[in-house]
């Protein structure tokens, strides 16, 4: 019984905190995200996380960190983002997510690498 009360207490605290954040999360604003280029154990080069979710109207600032030795690209063509990040370096890009939809993120230098997506919610 004590465990059940404790679980319910934690759950209610979590829900109360989540509802406090709802007004903040529903407004467009600045989104600062970090994306890291890594190589998986299967030798696949990817940007992690592969999918990004923002709201229409957000100003999106991406810090791109390339953990690999070789340069890699980061492109979101629909937002005119096309950056080359040298091996072991970081770059920053910024844009406004001014339209809703799902947009491809890829490496313009190595088209065979795994693609990601930018999801812009209303």
Cβ count within 10 A of residue 110:
13
- CATH numeric code, 28-121: 2.60.40.420
Domain spans, the chain: 28-121
Q: Among 40-44, 78-82, 83-87, where is mean pLDDT lowest?
A: 40-44
Tell me the whole-structure pTM to 2 decimals: 0.75
Q: What is the pLDDT of residue 114?
A: 79
Strands (E), the chain: 30-39, 45-48, 51-55, 59-66, 72-76, 81-85, 90-96, 101-105, 116-121
Apex 88 CA angle, 93 and 92, nearest 5: 10
Q: What is the pLDDT of residues 42-73, one digit of tens each?
A: 998 999 999 999 999 999 999 999 999 999 99
What is the full DSSP assignment across 28-58?
A: --EEEEEEEEEE-TTS-EEEESSEEEEETT-
Tell me the two tokens of residue 51.
């999918």
- The residue among 105, 93, 36 whose CA lies nearest residue 61 is 93
| Beta carbons within 8 Å of 107's beta carbon, 6+ residues apart | 45, 47, 72, 73, 74, 75, 113
């Amino acid at each position: 019984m004590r465990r059940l009360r404790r679980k319910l207490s934690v759950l209610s605290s979590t829900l109360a905190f989540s509802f406090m954040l709802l007004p903040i999360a529903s407004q467009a604003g600045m989104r600062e995200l970090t994306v890291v280029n890594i190589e998986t154990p299967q030798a696949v080069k990817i940007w992690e996380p592969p999918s990004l979710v923002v709201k229409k109207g957000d100003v999106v600032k991406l810090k791109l960190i390339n953990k690999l030795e070789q340069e890699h690209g980061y492109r979101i063509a629909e937002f005119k983002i096309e950056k080359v990040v040298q091996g072991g370096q970081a770059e920053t890009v910024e844009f406004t997510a001014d339209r809703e939809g799902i947009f491809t993120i890829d490496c313009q230098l190595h088209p065979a690498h795994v693609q990601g997506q930018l999801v812009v919610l209303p």
